[in-house]
Amino acid sequence: MGTVTLKINDRVTISAEGDNTTAIFDELVKLQETFADFGLAHKKIDGKMCYDDKVMLRSREVEGNVYREMYAPKLKAKLEFGIKQKDAHLYPKRVETDGKGKSLKEDGKTVYRPDNGWMVWDSELKKNV
C-alpha cells in the first residue's frame, strides 16, 4: 500500500511500510515507543528535574546476555529495553517487574518506574533508582 514517515522530534524520524493502514500504524507505534526518548532524557536528581539532549543508543554484553539501552551521559542515566518474546519487538522498561518479568502491582495498580523509566545507579543502595 505505501510508506508513512513521521518526525518524532529534532533527532528522530521514523518510517514504516505496510500493505494497509493498520499494518503501517502498528509498525509506527512500535518504532515510536522504542525511539521517541532518543531526543531528550529527563531525570529528577536531588529534587530538581535535569535534562540531557545527547542521548546515545548502547548495547552491552554481560555474561552472554545482551543489554540494550539508551544512555544519557550528562545525567549518567539509562533507559533499559526488554524484548517481547512474541515478536522480538524492543520496548522501553517503564514498569517495575518481579524476578520473572511480571509487572508489579500495588493495590491492583501497576507500579511504574520513576522518571518514565530513566534510571541512575545508586552506589549506596546498590541498585538503579
Res. 94: pLDDT tops 80: yes
56 and 78 both lie in a single domain: yes
Question: Cell digits for 5?
Answer: 514517515
Q: Got the DSSP string for 79-110?
A: EEEEE-TTT--EEE--B-B-TTSPBPEETTEE
91 and 32 both lie in a single domain: no
Q: Which domain holds residue 31?
A: 1-39
35 and 53 both lie in a single domain: no
60 and 19 both lie in a single domain: no
24 and 50 both lie in a single domain: no
**CB-CB contact of 128 with 121 (8 Å):** yes
Start-end of H helices in the chain: 21-35
Sequence letter at residue 33: E
Tens digit of pLDDT for each residue in 21-65? 999 999 999 999 999 888 789 888 888 999 999 999 999 999 999
Predicted local distance difference test score (pLDDT) of residue 55: 93
Domain count of the chain? 2
Predicted local distance difference test score (pLDDT) of residue 122: 86
Cα separation values, 81 from 44, 78, 107, Å = 20, 10, 26
85 and 98 both lie in a single domain: yes
48 and 111 both lie in a single domain: yes
